[in-house]
Amino acid sequence: MKKTLLVTVAAVSLLALAACGQKSSDATGKSSEAKTEKITVAGSTALQPLVEANVEGFTQENTNLQITVQGGGSGLGLSQVSTGAIQIGNSDLFAEEKNKDLATKVKDHKVAVVGFAPIVNKDIKTDGLTTAQLKDIFSGKVTNWKEVGGQDQKITIINRAEGSGTRFNFEKYGLDNTQVVKASEQDSSGAVVQMVSQTPGAISYVAFSNIKDTVKALEIDKVKPTEKNVATNDWKIWSYEHMYTQKENTTEGQEKFIKAVTSNKKLLEKLGYLAIDDMKVSRDQDGKVK
């Protein structure tokens, strides 16, 4: 009887320990899961290649951070980060240029500079335009390439959608806010490059970081679209690349990732961006260059 009692007590003890172990394991699992910070980054497709290129290496070293990168355009990035729908909003423009009320809700992190250039189908027989010619094309005044030194070929304009930071900067600094003609619109820079490469007579615009060898970037007023010319403002179509976070909810993980994006200078240059400290000039939200 005594022996049976001892065995029963031992069995109960083992079951209790097993239950405690299970609870401990569950608690540890929940704790580990709770420590994983999920960061969704969305917005500018001009900045997207740089952000995506940093994710894999960063998350391998920071296993508690899970990062998802999407496009959608600068307008989407700014609006969604301001409401907390995403954690980081990528933008080619200052938040104040989009919406002054929105700007009070977000924190600006400038990470790089990028230039924008007009691109054409590779069969177009011209390597450059004047600013006046560029305005005439996008306003619809000029409709054939022979009018600006090219072949007898109808001009097909391809625009980015409203809300695109690429479009905003190209129209502001390349076209002096000339009213553009209605044309086919694309939601991403990648789609623009593909359309221009496949459409005879096509012209559009993308960031340097999106230019592929399937299209041709044009000079403007005999100035080449290069990072060196952006740095001196000889090439005037450029912008800061911003990663916005919620002003009241910026986390250490978000700031750590943003710092990683800015600090890899070799990758910046490889992908067609400039480090901010390589700029010889600066520009404020009103477009004033110093």
Structural domain for 39, as ranges: 35-113+238-278
Task: Indicate whether 24 pLDDT > 60.
Answer: no
133 in the same domain as 213: yes
What pLDDT sits at residue 185?
Answer: 97
Task: Indicate whether 20 pLDDT > 50.
Answer: no
Express each pLDDT in 266-290 by its tens digit: 999 999 999 999 999 999 999 999 9
Express each pLDDT in 183-226 by its tens digit: 999 999 999 999 999 999 999 999 999 999 999 999 999 999 99
Tell me which of 215, 231, 247 is where a domain ends. Answer: 231
Examine residue 270 and state whether it is found in any structural domain, yes or no: yes
Q: From residue 201, how far is each of 27, 111, 126, 204 by CA, in Å?
A: 63, 35, 11, 10
Side chain identity at 73, as an amino acid letter? G
137 in the same domain as 186: yes
pTM recorded for the entire structure: 0.86
Dihedral pair phi/psi, residue 275, rounded to 5°: -70, 145
258 in the same domain as 124: no
215 in the same domain as 152: yes
Dihedral pair phi/psi, residue 28, rounded to 5°: -65, -45
State both tokens at 257.
């990732």
Task: Indicate whether 63 pLDDT > 50.
Answer: yes
189 in the same domain as 145: yes
45 in the same domain as 95: yes
Count of positions (residues) in the chain? 290
97 in the same domain as 45: yes
Question: Would you call 24 exposed, middle or buried from its count of C-beta atoms within 10 A (0-12, 13-18, 19+)?
Answer: exposed
Task: Indicate whether 96 pLDDT > 70.
Answer: yes
Residues paired with 114 in a beta bridge: 239
Secondary structure of residue 285 in the 3-state scheme: coil
Examine residue 102 and state whether it is found in any structural domain, yes or no: yes
76 in the same domain as 102: yes
pLDDT band at 35 (very low <50, low <70, confident <90, very high): confident
Overall number of domains in the chain: 2
Examine residue 43 and state whether it is found in any structural domain, yes or no: yes
Side chain identity at 204, as an amino acid letter? S
245 in the same domain as 101: yes
107 in the same domain as 138: no
Average pLDDT of the chain, as a whole number: 91
DSSP letter string, 121-161: ETT-S-SEE-HHHHHHHHTTS--BGGGGTS-S-B-EEEEEP
Dihedral, 255, 258, 264, 267 alpha carbons, nearest 10: 160
221 in the same domain as 271: no
Examine residue 30 and state whether it is found in any structural domain, yes or no: no
CATH number of residue 52's parent domain:
3.40.190.10
125 in the same domain as 154: yes
